[in-house]
Structure 1
Amino acid sequence: MPVVWNSVSVVVAVRGNAGHLPSLLRALSHQDYLGAVELVVVDNHDQPVIDRCRLVAWPVPVHVAFEMRPGLARARNTGIRMATGDFILITDPEAQPDPGWVRTMVTALVHGGADLVGGQVVPILPAGAGPLPAPVLALFGPACWPTVVCELEAPGQLSGSNLGMPNTDEVPLLVDARRRGSGYHRHYDAIELPASVQPAGYSVQLVPGAVVRRPVLPEHLTVRSVWVRAWRQGVSLARPGVRRSSGAHLPGPRAPRGLPWEWLVSRGGWLAIVTVLARAAGRTKERALRALGWRREERPARARPLHQHTAQH
């Protein structure tokens, strides 16, 4: 009996980073997966900026959707609804998936029995950045990763840059919790997803070997950028269902043994302090607003795709 390979839809949301799509398509065209792979691009600008005709030269089919309402989770949800593959993988335009990424994620979904899987995100530091402490690195990817497939232990391990799920009749959508109409892309929407799906009996697993590498730009390592990222991470970690285990896998600002003063006056040391303070401030403010009843509960919707599939491989 011939082997039937499942089809895969890779969903990316684009806002200000459309120039990275060719490198992502190049990485997808070098995957060792033998099944059909399509790329679903969600143009999340105020006006359409992505020309699909410029992307048709790649062997990976490209579908473009336009979502004018800003928000990373909202744009990704639009792509999830549009996906036609048996499985849906979510990543970013800047991501550089390893050649075995699609195969490893699909294998985990088919044989692991999970409803949602997460792969590892490895940050690529800019030249001259020097060594960065673990709290800063944790803003761009999980601080630690298992060597075998296992159940999710802490929400902080999950990243929206590397998610996978079956395209079934109930696809969990990401929580869209932007404040006061803000147009920024929230980088930690995936942290809140397990809090909504695990109580309903959904299995969430971490997959070793399913690696995407994501460049960290110099502007991402300014004090302001680090503060904003850490603040948003703290807000996400304070949400109901997330905060019970939110401290796990998020390292504190520990100085290297024997070099406390050198570390304290280093750029990496100060960024680590900024990270921990901002994360704590965001978490504290979010908890206070919820305690006062000034924050409504955001619950992810369920999406019924246009095409339903049954996993065969």
Structure 2
Amino acid sequence: MAELVIEGLAKSFGGRQVLSAIDLTVPSGSLLAILGASGSGKTTLLRLICGFEQAEAGSIRIDGRPVAGKGLHEPPERRRIGYVAQEGALFPHLDVAANIVFGLPRRQRAARHRVAELLDMVGLPAGFASRQPHQLSGGEQQRVALARALAPEPRLVLLDEPFSSLDTALRAETREAVAAALAAAGATAVLVTHDQPEALSMADPVAVLRGGRLIQVATPEELYRRPVDAALARFVGEAVLLPGLSDGVSVRCSLGQLTLAAGMPEGPVEVLVRPEQIRLGTAHPVRARVCGVRYFGHDASIRLETADGGTLSVRLSGHAVPKIGEEVALAVEGEVVAYRAAG
């Protein structure tokens, strides 16, 4: 495992700036997720780390050794990086064992070095070694691709949206297996994804890119509870954003007088409340009417219309869903954050 340090990294294509002044440190042995919408620059950042693209400015160090910088561009094969592509990219004419050892020296390839150990690490039986890629499910192919990436004992493992082509159930199962394998290997890893729950559940820390710039690097809890701006609050999970007036300690809005987290601005603000913070009860002070229900089984998203004509979402357990048209009472649980109002 190795620490990854990026300083002042920049890249453009055809005169369009794709990445600007990226500073990022990935501690040794950690799994960092790079989260961003399409076009935010996250795949370009991964390709610069790999060495598939050459940086225009800035530097990259892996385990203290420069691999990119002024006058330096070390080729991918010398960076000791394991790479897992979106589709796994297994060689269709090779069996699983041959795919896993493909990048090893000839003697180790012939001996099928550590194949059983690596299959066990990614949660597959040793008997899979003789299977062909077409005999595997999508999730199994991704696990084999990870085993291949881990086989040369890389200093760093990069994963480029490796679960995006899998269905929902398989995606959850596969990412759990991949996270466990990376932890067992003690690998430093970087995961690129546009899937917020994936980033929050797998990684620590999470780095968010927007328009080629690094917006926030934080633990999953910090990122969800205290995003740096309202736009990021909307991007990372469901967000209820309401106008309010802050005194720095509490804020008055359509949901009542709410307690603010430390360090919030005073004056006119936008208040962030997460849907699961809103509670229904008979003695709560704020009234609203149910105008929509989306039922998911384990929970439900309830759309409410407040007395001032505004609407908001509430997240409730699936066994406690009110009926459309029903009047309910609301209260907010826990602290909220606020952003200075525009204008």
- Asked if these proteins are the same fold (TM beyond 0.5), I'd say no
The structure in which a higher percent of residues are strand is 2
Normalized against structure 1, the TM-score is what? Answer: 0.28
The structure in which a higher percent of residues are helix is 1
Normalized against structure 2, the TM-score is what? Answer: 0.27
